[in-house]
């Protein structure tokens, strides 16, 4: 099944996206009742109130029961990566992601609420924080949030907290230096074509390719490199760009990562025939130059890494459909409206913000989080009989 790219349609200035109203003026939405979470075994480890101070200090390596305090799911996996969506808004309407007729559906929280959640998760062992959206660069207060996150210290590691952002790159050129000064370590740019016309048709924003390319270069110059460039591949849609992306990686000195198309789009049009599997991508890249496999940076890394035989350029392939990697999953997610999700393909949200606004203490929130995470899914079931798409699309979860 192939998709036909739509014509470019001029729309509002992508930098002038309406703000979401304060929560007090939002229409009342139907409540989704979250099933109760089974009670976990009582925690006997000492409480760590000092870990929730403005600067979270790591625990000494000889701290009694140190590893027992880590946040783990029911399958024994340590949860070290947190994806936090700071807005549901986006200034692009990429055709594989959004229908184009719907905007933001979920509200954003005050920066202070996100920061409290982050401090708690860092005290439980989170070592990597990725800010997402929507488009996070639209979020007022983003630089202040990054500055505060940069003050935190992982509880179980002597290394600094790893702070990253996933962005569409449209506003990046003007913000790259400020993001670096605030404490950002890395940036990933979503970019689904290197042909300008194809790119504009995908984003539905004229002249968007040049803005994103310039943003990538500005991020490299600001010290946020090597920038990762994510490309979601769809059969008959943008799979003609594979070889061009290989050249782009080599020329711009960026890490290009091809991602198999997952059933997370707003329009719910996914089918297995639209997926370009990893083996096909590798065969086509090898025709450009011979590929050399690279070792994983860590066990839970989602991308299989390759370079070319001359060592120039890096390609990653994220293949959740054809070669699932759930066994080493270390991720947990918080949506822009403060719901905890244990998997991209979860069928339910867990109301973390509701618990917090009802006056829960840090210790109560920690106990609740541990119980929720105990039920983290072992894996997704894409392509299997009875597979159900997740309760939210990707843009409303946080990329």
pLDDT for residue 172: 98
What is the number of other CB atoms lying within 10 angstroms of the CB of residue 17? 18
**Any idea where the domains of the chain sit in the sequence?**
48-58+65-397
Q: What pLDDT is attached to residue 274?
A: 81
For residue 275, the model assigns a pLDDT of 84
Identify the helix (H) or strand (E) that includes residue 348: none
Domain spanning 48-58+65-397: which superfamily?
Answer: Aldolase class I (3.20.20.70)
pLDDT of residue 16: 53
What is residue 192's predicted lDDT score, i.e. its pLDDT?
92
Whole-number pLDDT of residue 93: 83
Q: What pLDDT, on the 0 to 100 scale, is given for residue 52?
A: 45
pLDDT at residue 179, rounded to an integer: 98
Q: Answer for the pair 189, 255: CB distance below 8 angstroms, yes or no.
A: no
- Two tokens, residue 51: 């870990």
Look at residue 323 in the predicted model and tell me its pLDDT: 65
What is residue 64's predicted lDDT score, i.e. its pLDDT? 53
- Full 3-state SS string of 179-243: HHHHCCCEEEEECCCCCHHHHHHHHCCCCHHHHHHHHHHHHHHCCCCCCEEEEEECCCCCHHHHH
Amino acid 265: pLDDT: 57
Q: Which of 301, 264, 304 is nearest to 399 (CA)?
A: 264
Q: CA triplet 123, 125, 126: central angle to 5 degrees?
A: 95
pLDDT tens digits for range 59-84: 666 665 567 789 999 989 999 999 99
Report whether 87 contacts 135 (CB < 8 A).
yes
pLDDT of residue 18: 42
pLDDT score recorded for residue 299: 66
Low-confidence stretches of the chain (pLDDT < 50) are 1, 8-10, 17-54, 268
Distance of CA 63 to the CA centre of its chain: 32
Interatomic CA distance for residues 137 and 91, integer angstroms: 10
Edge-to-edge strand ranges of the sheet holding 304-308: 291-294, 304-308, 314-318, 255-260, 228-233, 186-190, 162-167, 128-132, 81-85, 331-334, 339-341, 350-351
Q: DSSP code of 267?
A: T
pLDDT given at position 177: 98
Give the tens place of pLDDT for each residue, 128-164. Answer: 999 999 999 999 999 999 999 999 999 999 999 999 9
What is the model's pLDDT at position 319? 82
């Amino acid at each position: 099944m192939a998709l036909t790219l739509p014509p470019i349609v001029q729309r509002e200035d992508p930098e002038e996206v309406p703000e979401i109203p304060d929560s007090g003026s939002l229409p009342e939405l139907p409540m989704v009742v979250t099933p109760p979470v089974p009670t976990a075994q009582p925690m006997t480890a000492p409480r760590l109130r000092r870990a929730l101070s403005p600067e979270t200090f790591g625990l000494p390596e000889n701290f009694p029961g140190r590893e027992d305090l880590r946040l783990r799911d029911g399958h024994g996996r340590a949860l070290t990566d947190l994806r936090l969506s700071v807005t549901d808004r986006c200034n692009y309407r990429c055709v594989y992601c959004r229908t184009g007729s719907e905007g933001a559906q979920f509200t954003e929280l005050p920066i202070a609420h996100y920061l409290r959640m982050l401090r708690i998760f860092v005290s439980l062992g989170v070592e990597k924080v990725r800010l997402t959206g929507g488009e996070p660069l639209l979020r007022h207060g983003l630089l202040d949030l990054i500055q505060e996150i940069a003050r935190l210290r992982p509880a179980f590691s002597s290394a600094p907290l790893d702070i990253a952002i996933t962005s569409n790159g449209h506003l990046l050129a003007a913000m790259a230096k400020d993001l670096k000064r605030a404490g950002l370590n890395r940036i990933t740019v979503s970019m689904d074509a290197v042909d300008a016309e194809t790119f504009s048709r995908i984003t539905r924003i004229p002249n968007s390719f040049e803005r994103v390319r310039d943003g990538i270069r500005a991020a490299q110059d600001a010290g946020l490199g090597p920038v990762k460039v994510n490309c979601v591949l769809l059969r008959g849609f943008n799979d003609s760009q594979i070889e061009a992306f290989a050249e782009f990686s080599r020329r711009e000195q960026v890490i290009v990562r091809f991602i198999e198309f997952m059933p997370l789009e707003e329009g719910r049009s996914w089918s297995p025939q639209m997926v370009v599997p990893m083996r096909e991508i590798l065969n086509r890249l090898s025709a450009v130059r011979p590929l050399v496999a690279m070792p994983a940076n860590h066990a839970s890394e989602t991308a299989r890494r390759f370079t070319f035989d001359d060592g120039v350029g890096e390609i990653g392939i994220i293949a959740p459909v054809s070669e699932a990697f759930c066994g080493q999953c270390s991720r947990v997610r918080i949506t822009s409206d403060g719901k905890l999700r244990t998997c991209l393909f979860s069928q339910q949200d867990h109301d973390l913000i509701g618990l917090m606004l009802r006056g829960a203490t840090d210790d109560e929130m920690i106990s609740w989080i541990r119980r929720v995470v105990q039920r983290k899914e072992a894996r997704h079931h894409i392509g299997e009989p009875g597979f159900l798409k997740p309760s939210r699309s990707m843009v409303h979860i946080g990329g």
